[in-house]
A and B are shown apart, each in its own frame.
Chain A
């Protein structure tokens, strides 16, 4: 057999480039849909602005890039009281709270479906995936009706004696809690699925062994199930939190005030005005911010894979 050639399971011969070529579609996709657009964003952030129309004039030669506007935006983020800093802080707070809520709500759901749903498991899984069939924006629009002053949420709360019909809770008038709950509602299915995948793969024999060794249900959960589902928790947190950082229309639809504005709102507002360079700079800064947790996730997953391989 020629050196370096691949060999199929039944002795078929493949050229050396055959198996690596399977990566070609993904590589082309990555180049066209990520690397190239990313370069355009760089060209805009470090480019020029048309003096009449105030539209961006991208500069594609890195040697002619002007970092001044980018530095201005970066310095604003570290300036106390600036709108950039407040939007970043709102975003961090909302994403942290919503992700934590997604985990608190999603973990028991995933656990139930994986370990206790029995013959109804598929039905429950379909029920929890069903929200994916409706666009995210439509689901948020539905909440506007529910959260109106005379909406069903206030009516239920009034019925329970937790709200006053004469002075209903104004859920849609700039409450951070509304934004957090909206984000949680929108993204919790993305937490349930990876958790389900991991919890479902924990062998029952492992849990039985723990009980055989004298561990009660709680101890088994805390010392066996929870650690084994660590990768699922990490994956769920990453899948849920990353898109939340760029989310803008949850806040726009459910709040729309300055004290709830997120960095996604600032980016959209910049791009829709003559401040496109600001928007591009914010995109770059957000990207760098999100690379750090992504790198941690990749490192944690690769360490876990190494442990399993040993």
Chain B
């Protein structure tokens, strides 16, 4: 956006860690809520979110958790009953069969959450421990790093996954593999109640967008429950609208019943942790650690 200017009228799926930078750098413009009457449909927690007071610059697009998905026909452990579900990502019994998400924040989060540390820590000692834990894991587990797990169903037994990705699985199943073979857990709702990431992506309009009114109209369109439901069927990531509830999603068969625990309510937010904006030097450190761990893979 800095180098190529406002070639777009609307940015979709901005993550929270970038909202502050975009606003501070005057790369996005305030929203005119009079053009977005459907903003009233979003969850209360997003009417005045902590990352964007009074939702001046952003509107919520999707919500999702980061948990663990696995093949329940292959994995014998009861992962939700484990004291620390993240241990399964390091279980040598499944070496070569475990995938982690490929992003500096999510990959490091796997180790930080396993340690019980803050996913937004800037403590170099903690980050060093997380790095070492990941390097040890790379050695023993030979993790594959990706987030297109839906296109690789059948090639992994366990995957650190976003809840929205898991919603796609039913459309990409290899022949002979039923959707009931997959399970998902978000650790805050497992027996050990370990912390887990919950977050949302947002819409924003670039400063200097050539069609800002149309951009507002598009946001309003997608915050309409009927349009949002159609988009959800394609997107897989749950929209945070009051009328789209887990019950309505299951009734419409958008998500298989055995994976109903990927669905989120407003009350889940206090249970989880969110990936926040990091100071630039810390952000760079996270990215350097990620590169050292993955080798760029």
Q: What residues make up the interface of A, taking CB atoms closer than 8 Å to B?
A: 51-55, 82-83, 86-87, 90, 144, 148-150, 170, 172-174, 248, 251-252, 255-262, 264-270, 273-275, 278
Contact = CB atoms under 8 A, between A and B. Distances in A.
Contacts of A251: 297
5 contacts: A53-B21, A83-B295, A172-B152, A262-B296, A274-B283
Contacts of B297: 251-252, 255-258, 260-261, 265, 269
A267 B97 contact: no
A180 to B, nearest CB: 16
B266 to A, nearest CB: 33
Contact of A173 (B21, B155, B280, B287): B155
Nearest to A251: B297
Given A149-B155, A150-B174, A257-B142, A269 B280 contact: no
A148 B154 contact: yes
B292 interface: yes
Contacts of A269: 291, 294, 296-297
Given A52-B24, A86-B295, A266-B296, 15 more contacts: A51-B280, A52-B280, A53-B280, A55-B3, A90-B295, A144-B151, A148-B155, A150-B175, A150-B176, A173-B156, A256-B145, A258-B142, A258-B143, A261-B297, A273-B104
Nearest to B294: A258
B144 A256 contact: yes
Contacts of A270: 291, 296
Given A252-B297, A255-B297, A149 B283 contact: no
Nearest to B295: A261
Interface string B1-35: 01100000000000000000100110000000000
Interface residues of B, number: 36
A39 to B, nearest CB: 17
B291 A173 contact: no
B284 A54 contact: yes
Contact of B96 (A52, A148, A174, A258): A174
Contacts of B110: none
Contacts of A257: 138, 142-145, 297
Given A53-B25, A170-B97, A83 B291 contact: yes
B295 A265 contact: yes
Interface in B207-266: none
Contacts of A52: 21, 24-25, 280
B288 interface: yes
A36 to B, nearest CB: 16
Interface in B134-184: 138, 142-146, 151-152, 154-156, 174-176
A273 B280 contact: no
Nearest to B3: A55
B293 interface: yes
B283 A54 contact: yes
B190 to A, nearest CB: 26
Interface in B271-289: 280, 283-284, 287-288
A104 to B, nearest CB: 28
B146 to A, nearest CB: 5
Contacts of A264: 296
A91 to B, nearest CB: 11
A261 B97 contact: no
Contact of B2 (A55, A83, A261): A55
A173 B156 CA distance: 8
A183 to B, nearest CB: 15
Nearest to B143: A257
Given A170-B155, A266-B295, A148 B174 contact: yes
Interface string B56-98: 0000000000000000000000000000000000000000110
A274 B155 contact: no
A259 B142 contact: yes
Given A52-B21, A52-B25, A53-B25, A173 B295 contact: no
A248 B295 CA distance: 12
Contacts of B146: 256
A267 B295 CA distance: 10
A174 B24 CA distance: 41
A142 to B, nearest CB: 13
Contacts of B104: 273
A173 B24 CA distance: 42
User: Which of B102, B155, B294, B297 has the most CB atoms of chain A within a 10 A radius of its CB?
Assistant: B297
B292 to A, nearest CB: 5
Nearest to A76: B292
B289 to A, nearest CB: 10
Contact of A273 (B25, B291, B293): B291
A264 B296 CA distance: 8
User: Which of A144, A259, A262 has the most CB atoms of chain B within a 10 A radius of its CB?
Assistant: A259
7 nearest A-B pairs in the assembled complex, by CB-CB distance = A261-B295, A265-B296, A266-B296, A269-B296, A261-B297, A273-B287, A258-B295
Given A54-B280, A256-B146, A83 B155 contact: no
